[in-house]
Structure 1
């Protein structure tokens, strides 16, 4: 026989209220975006061997460095579960400023390649992304853009969410507009387009154009970041001056905080030293032309840019003709004559004395 027991509803309600409780969601650490300025690396949690290297201003072992990255990221995520790349860069910069000799980038030969700021920043962000791989609540999202069409403008951005930051960029999409500007104001964009239509690339020399290109950076990024991405032809129509070398480099500098031309020169010079060192260390392996060129560069090493010398050595090694890359000019040629002869756009200029470059690369 089955016996049924009836229980009053009030009793069930009381019982359920005592037995079941709503689950508490894990609270996500939230902090103001300026927290990196006051962030303290927990050095006391790092390995003693690393702290010893820091005191002696020596480079720590790679295992100690990786452990320091893990400890630092754990401390950062106690404040913010998913720090942005720019926030990681701020923390990395504070470490580099405190210990400049301990974390700089060096080659296998011991030559200094950089301060180590970007490498350390990348290690922080990579570690953070790995920890947040399966954590959808910690992903960075930006608000949906309103689907408002503007006549004669780029395609309307989709309402799809996207990341708010991108590797290597410090100003991916500005959140603030220049003073006195609104998103509905297209006068600056139209003025740039009309100037380009009227004067072409010569308008790039005008101070007003330079001013407007800086003011409209936010609008340029907004158009570039639309989804689906616009074509190059569409961007050329809306921002014609953006594809002139001067303003493209200016845009890149604002986007990444890197002076492209100076960084390129430094990189070519640094890599050139490594290339020359390699060729000189195995001198007897090379053909006569390569050995002669290496001897010439060694003889007047103080007057030779290592990057250009390395290019000439590699051209000799691969049997490339010099006029395939360089425009040659007589050393007695005046500056005005050189500008007339070497007027091709974006062409490297180098004046040679025999085989030895005595003038750095120059771009028109």
Structure 2
């Protein structure tokens, strides 16, 4: 008899065996005995003592577990493997997905992916026609495009009560007049801006075009306005979160990327190096996110660069040398700033402020920033800021980066 997880309250069930047996009981994975006794004694010792496994030992653990489970059930669904991964991580928390003590997503998506990949590899060649197994409806994570399904992703105050709309409209007009001043004293207008938040959100949620929002709420697109709105929306200070992450993890990330990517980027600022290296690691093209223009280029000229997703115009020859950056949303220059770090921070913030989906081609870098820099870490499998269908609650490139970074830090 194989030992069951000590943290599982469900009693093991007696199950038939056989290479062609398929268990359809949805509760099977909650009760099946996980074959921990087939693991090498040193692996079990590490797990029991809360010591990290090497990459090779972890892969071997996955093979042993999946192969042992397949002796009981030869056709394991992704949903069943998800349940098993949850049980394994609950028993051995050292296996969970985390970065610098911060849990990522459910904490077990990395193990889910490894179990699924091993199981899929074991299934290859079973059919003479090589037909891909159709996912069960319980396996497939649907990320519908309807606003109601994605609008609260990581937000704590998405639909604020409006209250006295006439009073808020008066505040909007006051802010509009103030925005025309040469120098704005934000400490003097901060309360007015905060009180107008419900109307800002109402218009954003209603889908008012960016150019109209910019004309009605110019202060919303100033750096201070983006940060204040983001804070009211998520209860997180965007700038402080970025700065704190850079202080805690910046040097380690740079050392990791230089080691893995074999690049010598010492001339770049830390923020520039980390963002661009992260994109290269995930094989996401920075051409989708940044485009270079001459230093004398005007906002109107920048807007002629057509893009289907938000991007940053870099006024200069490279991100590290430029002294001006323009954030472009729906082909409208919304915000101008003078540093790469600030430009990227505000650019990310606008995805939340304006309720914009992550473009598929940039979903890795944006989700890494969201979860690790900013700390917005929803774990629901159907929560997604990108419309791309996926079986994991966390972007697989993000999981791979976190896993390799954690292993790098452990072995250093």
User: Scaled by the length of structure 2, what TM-score is found?
Assistant: 0.36
Higher relative contact order (CA closer than 8 Å, sequence separation 6+): 2
- TM-score, normalised on structure 1? 0.40
Between Structure 1 and Structure 2, whose CA radius of gyration is higher?
1
